[in-house]
Chains A and B, each alone.
Chain A
Amino acid sequence: MTESAKKKVGIEVSLAVAEAVKQCDADVISAYPITPQTHIVEHLSELVANGELDAEFIPVESEHSAMSVCAGSSAAGARTFTATASQGLALMAEIVYCVSALRLPIVMVVANRSLNSPLSIWNDHGDVMMVRDSGWVQIFVENGQEAYDHIFWCFRVGEDRKVMHPVMLNMDGFIVTHVVEPIEFWSQEMVKKFLPPFQPLHRLHPDKPVTMGAFGPPEIFTECKVAQEHALVSCMPVIEKAWDELYEVCGRKYSAVEKYRADDAKTLLVTMGCLGETARVAIDELREAGEEVGLVSLRLWRPFPFSQFKAAVKNAENLIVIDRAVVFGGVGGPVALELKAALYSEAKRPRITNFIAGLASRDVQPEDFKQMFARAKKKLADGRDDEFEIYGVRG
C-alpha cells in the first residue's frame, strides 16, 4: 500500500512539478518561457544542466515551435513534455489540435492565465477554454500536491496504448504555480510501480516506415474524426483506473468529480481549479449558518465526465456555477454552458445560476462566495437565474 517514511518538502509548486517531470525520466522538454510558467522550465533546464535529468532541453524560438518540436519528438517515440500559458497556448493552438488527432501522448502543463487584450499575466481560464475542443485529455488541479501527483498520472494515462492522447494539466497561474507548499514526494520505486516506460504503437523509425499526418480527402475525413472522438471518450476507464492505481501507490484519492459536503446539499457550488479550496471554507461557514450547501469541483474537463457529474448533482435543486472565463456574446461561462448541456435531457435537473469571477486573479474570498450564494438566491426568487453575472464589477 502506501510507503511509511515519506519525504515532505516545502517547495514552490512549479519546482515540484519540474521535479516530477524529472522523476518521470522525460526524454525531451521543449519550451518557450511565458509568465507564469517560467519557473517550471527554468528548473527543468537546471536539472538537465546539472545532469540530474538526462533529457534534451530544447529552448525553442516560439510556442508554436514548442508544440511542433513536441510533435516530432513524441512521434519518434520519446517521452515529451512542455508547458505554457495564455498567449503561448494561443500561438500553439494550431498544433495543439494537430497532435491530438495524430494521437501523440505529449504532456503539457498550462499555467492558466488570461488571454490578451489587455495584456494580463494573471490567472483565469481564458487560455484553456480556447482549446477546449482540441481533443486533449484535460484536467484541473487545485493545489501543489495535486499538480505534482498528476504529472505522473498524465504520462501514465496519455501513453497508455488504449489512450494514446496528449494530456493537458491545468494549474492556476501564480495562485498554484508560485506558492510554496509542503509537497509529499514520491520515491523512485513508487514512480516505477506506477509509470511504465513509453512504448508507442507507431514511431518514426527506418526499421518500420510509416506515414503520419497524411491529408484527408472528404471521403475519409469524417471517419478520421469519428475514430478520434471515439478514442477520446473511450479513455474514461483508463483514466479512472490510473486514479485507482495512484491511490494504491501514494494514498491520495482523486476522481473526475470531487465532492465536498455535497450528498445532502440542496445547493451546490461548482468550481474548477483553485477556487475549489476557497469555496470549501465558504461552504463550512454557510453550513454553520444553516444553509444546505456543498461543493462539486470538476477535476476532469475532457473527456467530460457525464455520468460522474450527473451522479454528483442528482439530489441538488440548485447549482451555482463559478466560471473563470467569459464567452463573449454567449449565454454564460464555458463550464455553465457545459453543465447545462450535460443536464438538458435529464427528466429532473437543478436550476443553474452562473457567475464569472476571478478574472485576472481578482481575489475571490470566502466572503465573495457567500455573496454569490446570496445573489443566486435572489436571482432564483426573481426568476432571473438564466442571466449570467460577472461578479464584483465596479460600475
Chain B
Amino acid sequence: MRRIEHYAPLLFDKEEYFTQGHRACQGCAEALAVRLSAKALGRNTIVAMATGCMEIVSSPLPTTAWKVPWIHVAFENAAAVASGVESGLKALMRKGKLPQKKINVVGCAGDGGTADIGLQALSGAMERGHNMVYICYDNEAYMNTGIQRSSSTPFGASTTTSPAGKVRLGQETWKKNMPEIIAAHGVPYVATACSSYTVDLVEKVKRAAATKGPAYVHILSVCPTGWRIPPNLAIKYGRLAVESGIFPLYEVKNGKYFLTFDFQELVPVKNYFKGQGRFRHLTEEAVARIQKKVSEDYEKLKAKCVNIKK
C-alpha cells in the first residue's frame, strides 16, 4: 500500500496549464514534472523556457500546449530572459503602467541548459536577486538532440558522447551538483524534487513561487528513451534514484538544509542501475566505486541537515 500523500484528487489544482496533445515520448516523466510544476504555479505565471525537449514538444508552430504566457528565445538564456520579464514587469508596475499583480516569473531549462551552456545566465540571475523561480528539469543528458552527455550525466552512464566502449566506460566525471552551486549563491530557497513524488514536487514549486527573491528547484526527470528503460517504469526509477541516495530530496531555506525523506537504509545503487540500458555495462568495480561515493555524499548531506537528529 503506497503513501497517503498521493491522494491526488484532493491535493492538486484540477486545472491543467500544460495541455494534452504535447509531443513528449510515452512515459516521459519530464512532461509529468512540467505538468505538475504548472499546476503548482497556477494561472498567474509567465514561463521563459530554454531550447530542449519540453520546449520542442510543447510549441510546434502553429500550436502551443501552454495556457500561460510563454516565451522561448534560445538555449542558454532562460534565466536571463526570465530576469528580463521580471524586470520589465517590476518597472511597469512601479511606474503605474501596469496594474499591480502577483505574477510568478519562471525560467525553465533542462540539465544542459542549466548546468552547461546556461550556467552563466543562471548564476547572474541568482546573484542579481531577481524575484523569480528557476526550474531545472534534469533528465541527465542532452536528450532532445539524441542523448549526448551533459555535466549532469551521472558517473558511468552511457550516452552517445560518453559511450561505453572497449576502452572508455561511459561518463568519466561525477554529476555536477547544481543545487549546491545555487545554494552557494545564497539564494533564499533551493530544493530538489522528482516527478515520482508528485505532491512533494508541487509543494516545493509552490514554496519557490512564494519566495521573495530567487528560488531554484532541481527536478530529476526520468527519461525512458534516454535511460533505456520501458516507459511504464519511469516512476519506479525516479523512486529508486531517491531511495538509493543517488538523488536525495532536500531543501535549503536561507542556508539551512532540510532533508525531505530520511531512509533508515538506502537501497543499494545496483538495484537502481539494474534494468537501465545506460548502465548495463557497469562493472562490479564501478558499481562499488559509485556506491561508496553515494553513501559518503549522503552522509555529508545528512550532517548538514538541521532536521536530522545526529
A→B interface (CB under 8 Å) = 25, 27-28, 30, 54-56, 58-62, 64-65, 68-78, 80, 94-95, 98-99, 102, 197, 204-206, 208-217, 220, 224
Contacts and interface: CB of A to CB of B under 8 A. Distances in A.
A329 B120 CA distance: 35
B85 A209 contact: no
Sorted from nearest, which 4 A-B pairs have the closest CB atoms? A72-B84, A61-B124, A78-B88, A76-B88
Given A71-B73, A211-B66, A206 B91 contact: no
Nearest to B92: A78
B120 A65 contact: yes
A209 B70 contact: yes
B81 interface: yes
12 contacts: A54-B94, A61-B121, A62-B124, A77-B97, A78-B87, A197-B97, A209-B70, A210-B70, A211-B59, A212-B72, A214-B59, A215-B61
A95 B71 CA distance: 13
B8 interface: no
B92 A215 contact: no
Nearest to A64: B77
B82 interface: yes
Given A68-B74, A206-B101, 14 more contacts: A28-B91, A30-B84, A30-B87, A56-B87, A64-B76, A64-B120, A68-B83, A69-B87, A73-B84, A73-B91, A75-B88, A94-B74, A211-B69, A217-B60
Interface of B: 43-46, 48, 55-56, 59-64, 66-74, 76-77, 80-92, 94-95, 97-98, 101, 103, 120-121, 123-124, 127-128
Nearest to A54: B95
A212 B74 contact: no
Given A59-B128, A68-B77, A69-B81, A206 B97 contact: no
B92 A76 contact: yes
A70 B73 CA distance: 11
B84 A71 contact: yes
Nearest to A76: B88
B53 to A, nearest CB: 12
B84, B120, B124 — most chain A CB neighbours (10 Å): B84
B46 A76 contact: yes
Contacts, number: 174
B90 A204 contact: no
Given A72-B82, A204-B46, A206-B44, A98 B120 contact: no
Among B64, B77, B103, B124, the most chain A Cβ lie within 10 Å of the Cβ of B77
Contacts of A69: 80-81, 83-84, 87
Contact of B80 (A59, A64, A75, A224): A64
Contact of A65 (B45, B46, B124): B124
Contacts of B124: 60-62, 65
B80 A215 contact: no
Contacts of A220: 61-62
B81 A68 contact: yes
Given A209-B67, A214-B62, A61 B120 contact: yes
A213 B103 contact: no
A98 B73 contact: yes
Nearest to B91: A27
Q: Chain B at the A interface: mostly helix, strand, loop or mixed?
A: mixed
Given A54-B91, A61-B121, A68-B80, A209 B97 contact: no
A150 B304 CA distance: 57
A216 B39 CA distance: 27
Nearest to B101: A206
Nearest to B49: A213
A291 B94 CA distance: 61
A68 B62 contact: no
A215 B56 contact: yes
Nearest to B83: A69
Contacts of A59: 128
A60 B89 CA distance: 17
A360 B68 CA distance: 48
A61 B123 contact: yes
B46 A206 contact: yes
Contacts of B91: 27-28, 54-56, 73, 78
A102 B73 contact: yes
Nearest to B57: A215
A72 B85 contact: yes
B85 A75 contact: yes
B84 A28 contact: yes
Nearest to A106: B84
Contacts of A70: 84
Nearest to A221: B61
Contacts of A211: 59, 64, 66, 69-71
Contacts of A94: 74
A65 B125 CA distance: 9
B98 A72 contact: no
A58 B90 CA distance: 12
A71 B84 CA distance: 7
Contacts of B127: 61
Contacts of A72: 48, 71, 73, 80-88
Contacts of A78: 87-89, 91-92
Contact of A213 (B45, B71, B86): B71
A206 B59 contact: no
B81 A214 contact: no
B66 A75 contact: no
B73 A68 contact: yes
Contacts of B44: 206
Contacts of B62: 214, 220
A214 B88 contact: no
B13 to A, nearest CB: 15
A79 to B, nearest CB: 9
B175 to A, nearest CB: 24
B98 A77 contact: yes
A211 B56 CA distance: 13
A206 to B, nearest CB: 5
A76 B46 CA distance: 9
Given A62-B124, A78-B92, A205 B81 contact: no
